Amino acid sequence: MQNFHGLWLWEIIGEAKILTNKKICCC
């Protein structure tokens, strides 16, 4: 269960990083 939560958390962090990078590269 803890491992699953960890993977879910990393997925959220990964998506957030991609969104931030897109915003920065959008200029």
pTM higher than the cut 0.75: no
> pLDDT 10s per residue in the chain (27 long)?
566 677 888 899 999 998 888 877 665
- pLDDT for position 6: 75
Widest Cα–Cα separation across the chain: 41
Per-residue pLDDT, 26: 60
**Rounded Cα distance, 1 and 12, in Å:** 17
